[in-house]
């Protein structure tokens, strides 16, 4: 396979694990707003971040971002659209430096790849067959690695990552150093939250709806048999739009990631544990963190 499998193999001779980031320390809301705006969707985001990091404990390194999804401006006055955008931008918090630290994406990069292929098809830069669309869907819903490898090779995955970064204003996201190793592309929790928050406003509405529908159709078992029900998948209420990722081993570490759009709330959890920490323990810690989130209120 072109990329490191989600945990089906480890790289021999990998180096020592990265220093763990203690996530229970400083919690900062990078963008602030009057308290009425921050509370418009329920619990202030900084409190949600605090609850998540406390529940995770010290199993490994955890990056957390809680944000609010933007809404398209269609049918709104410019002033109303700007006001809604400002409220969405104000509702964001993270756990400090960890949220800006690059992590290997594992399967999170599939979101960037799918969005960019849909965008290029929408703008006439390429043509998609029914088989291509089906492959995109299983890449997201079943986290299918062979589908991702095929699409990455056919449609230029590295270009997709750089193009999405430019269109969404992602500053900590980059293609893999080794061509084809798509799981080793890098991103930050802040970038993933920005991408998911801005998706309805930047992507064509139909493409945004399609990608989110594929995420809502995530299957309990991935194509390779890995149980995807960890983190936000299985703990978030209703039918959230989720994407899961797992991979071993990059520089001696396992990675387990979970992102979701729950109503209008965006939550990103990126985790890293030493290789000696098994998937069961890593899964339990991330699920406990996700379970600390109260359900969002209606906007």
pLDDT band at 171, cuts 50/70/90? very high
What is this structure's pTM? 0.85
pLDDT over threshold 50, residue 15:
no
**How far is residue 217's CA from residue 138's CA, in Å, rounded to a whole number?**
10
Would you state the pLDDT for residue 204? 97
Q: Are 136 and 116 in contact (CB under 8 A)?
A: no
Mean pLDDT of the chain: 86
- pLDDT tens for 50-84 read 999 999 999 999 999 999 999 876 655 445 555 56
pLDDT over threshold 90, residue 28:
no
pLDDT over threshold 50, residue 86:
yes
pLDDT over threshold 50, residue 13:
no
Percent of the chain with pLDDT over 70: 80
7 versus 204: the higher-pLDDT residue is 204
Domain segments of the chain as ranges:
26-101+231-241+268-299
pLDDT over threshold 60, residue 94:
yes
Render the chain in DSSP notation, one character per residue: --S--SSS---TT--PPPPPPPTTS--B-SS---HHHHTTTSS-HHHHHHHHHHHHTTSSEEEEEEEE-----TTS-HHHHHHHHHHHHHS-EE-GGGGGS-EE-GGGHHHHHHHHHHHHHHTTSS---HHHHHHHHHHHHS--HHHHHHHHHHHTHHHHHHHHHHHHT-SS-B--SSTT-GGG-EE-HHHHHHHHHHHHHHS-HHHHHHHHHHHHT--SB-TTS-B--STTTTTSSSS-EEEEEEEEEETTEEEEEEEEEETTEEEEEEEEEETTS-HHHHHHHHHHHHHTSPPPPP-
Residue 28, CA distances (Å) to 12, 64, 155 in order: 38, 11, 38
Would you state the pLDDT for residue 65? 98
C-alpha 205: how far from its chain's center? 19
């Amino acid at each position: 396979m072109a990329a490191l499998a989600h945990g089906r193999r480890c790289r021999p001779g990998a180096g020592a694990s990265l220093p763990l980031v203690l996530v229970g320390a400083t919690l900062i809301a990078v963008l602030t707003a009057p308290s009425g705006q921050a509370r418009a969707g329920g619990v202030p985001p900084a409190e949600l971040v605090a609850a998540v990091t406390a529940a995770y404990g010290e199993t490994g390194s955890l990056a957390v971002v809680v944000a609010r999804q933007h809404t398209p401006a269609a049918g709104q006055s410019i002033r109303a659209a700007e006001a809604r955008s400002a409220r969405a931008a104000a509702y964001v918090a993270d756990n400090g430096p960890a949220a800006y630290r690059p992590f290997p994406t594992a399967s999170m990069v599939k979101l960037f790849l799918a969005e960019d292929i849909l965008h290029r098809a929408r703008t006439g830069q390429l043509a998609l067959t029914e088989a291509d669309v089906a492959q995109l869907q299983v890449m997201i819903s079943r986290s299918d690695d062979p589908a991702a490898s095929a699409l990455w090779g056919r449609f230029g995955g590295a270009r997709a990552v750089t193009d999405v970064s430019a269109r969404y204003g992602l500053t900590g996201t980059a293609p893999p150093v080794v061509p084809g190793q798509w799981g080793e592309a890098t991103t930050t929790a802040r970038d993933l939250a920005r991408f998911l928050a801005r998706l309805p406003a930047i992507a064509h509405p139909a493409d945004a709806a399609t990608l989110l529908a594929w995420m809502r159709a995530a299957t309990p078992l991935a194509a390779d048999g890995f149980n995807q029900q960890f983190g936000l998948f299985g703990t978030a209420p209703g039918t959230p739009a989720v994407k899961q990722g797992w991979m071993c081993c990059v520089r001696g570490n396992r990675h387990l990631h979970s992102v979701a759009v729950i109503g209008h709330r965006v939550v990103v959890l990126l985790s890293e544990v030493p290789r000696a920490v098994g998937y069961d323990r890593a899964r339990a810690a991330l699920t406990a963190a996700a379970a600390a989130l109260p359900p969002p209120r209606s906007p």
